[in-house]
Amino acid sequence: MSIKRKRSVWRIEDSVAELGELAGSAGARVVDTVIQKLEKPTNLYVGKGKVDEIKSRIAELKVDTVICDDELTPTQQRNLENALGEDKKVLDRTALILDVFASRAQTREGRLQVELAQNEYLLPRLAGQWSHLERLGGGIGTRGPGETQIETDRRLVRNRIQHLKRSLQDVRRHRQLHRARRNNNSVPVVSLVGYTNAGKSTLLNKLTKADVRAEDRLFSTLDPATRRITLPSGGSALVTDTVGFIHKLPPALVAAFRATLEEIEESTVIMHVLDATHVNSVEQALVVESILKDMHVDRLPRILVMNKVDLLPEDAGLDEIAAPFDLGPDDRSAFISAMTGLGTSKLLTELDEALAVGPAISAATG
């Protein structure tokens, strides 16, 4: 499937609006936004004049936390905190996403994956935690107390990272055994992928009568769920709900969730669930397709599932909504409402036909 771009990149305003949603998901209350367009970030992330403006708004609105819409370097974060005042916390988009993920992870696997990403994010930023000690001593031929503490913390974090990686390797082996048993039974696997809050968990519940948590918020569930469905032909398949993607998803987080995302690699068909009502639906689809390409699964047969059509205006043209998406010869599409069930029967028929052309369905339908 290819996608015709309406715009080459996300508009800054749309990206910042999504950042506000993330902040709300983390329990913060957004009181103001500041936007500056620069050719490239400065060592303060924004220009010095803009920092003065932010300081003024902080004082006026009694703000205690500033969140930036990109991943800051350790130097940028430290410089910006110093410029805004040591009692002001500066977070970046990556730290915010990690915080939201940490609050959503329910299973041991999910918690391990999030903690690994958090520690890998923290490691290069440890120096800033002890800058106040570095001024107490040190110099040529000595090791100041700050440096000693930094090295101790780095060693502890590195050891924890290695422990988490070993634990996740165990999870990976366990998943591989499960997949091997599934392959022996020749049951095809269908992966639900999509942007966060597109409705994947709601669709899984509707198709399989499962009880997976589904809420109208970003990253309502992180832990994968697999359920069996019966197809119109009488055959069966396993449908797996995967973690939702998002604009500027931290690479460390993608790597940490590698064991979970490997489920997608074993799929016979991918169902890409899209929020047809969202103003950035094309940009969101591009994010998902880019990640699938990075995982080398972009050539798997795809069903583009345009969800939430019950929320569209009555005069909305479905052909116009589908126009930006060029489906390949092995790809299909369906307009549905996972909430009401509208169109899900046709979706199951499309899925049945998509699986029938692959080798995995033969034993399952016999």
Q: What is the pLDDT of residue 137?
A: 44
Strands 325-326 and 2-3: antiparallel
Q: What is the pLDDT of residue 217?
A: 55
Q: Locate the domains of the chain by residue range.
A: 2-101, 107-134+141-184, 187-365
Residue 226 tokens read as: 């697999």
Cβ contacts of 347-352, under 8 Å, gap ≥ 24: 347/207, 347/303, 347/305, 348/207, 348/229, 348/231, 348/232, 349/232, 350/303, 351/190, 351/231, 351/237, 351/269, 351/271, 351/303, 352/231, 352/232, 352/233, 352/235
CB 41 within 8 A of CB 50: no
CATH topology assigned to domain 2-101 = Rossmann fold (3.40.50)
Query: pLDDT averaged over consecutive 10-residue blocks of the chain (366 residues)?
Result: 68 92 91 91 92 94 93 92 88 91 82 89 74 42 56 89 92 77 77 93 88 60 78 92 86 74 85 94 92 86 94 83 82 94 95 75 35
> What pTM was computed for the model?
0.83
Q: What is the pLDDT of residue 146?
A: 52
Q: What is the pLDDT of residue 182?
A: 65
Q: What is the pLDDT of residue 209?
A: 81
Cβ contacts of 166-169, under 8 Å, gap ≥ 24: 167/112, 168/109, 168/112, 168/113, 168/116, 168/256, 168/258, 168/259
Residue 307 tokens read as: 């969800």
Can 2-101 and 187-365 be said to share one CATH topology? yes
CB 68 within 8 A of CB 93: yes
- Give the helix ranges, DSSP H, for the chain: 12-25, 48-61, 74-84, 93-104, 108-122, 126-129, 131-134, 145-184, 200-208, 251-256, 258-265, 281-294, 318-322, 344-356, 361-365
CATH number assigned to the domain with residue range 187-365, chosen from the 4 options 3.40.50.720, 3.90.550.10, 3.40.50.300, 3.50.50.60: 3.40.50.300
- Rounded CA-CA distance 200/194 in Å is 7
| DSSP per-residue codes, 4-55 | --SSSS--HHHHHHHHHHHHHHTT-----------SS-BTTBS-HHHHHHHH
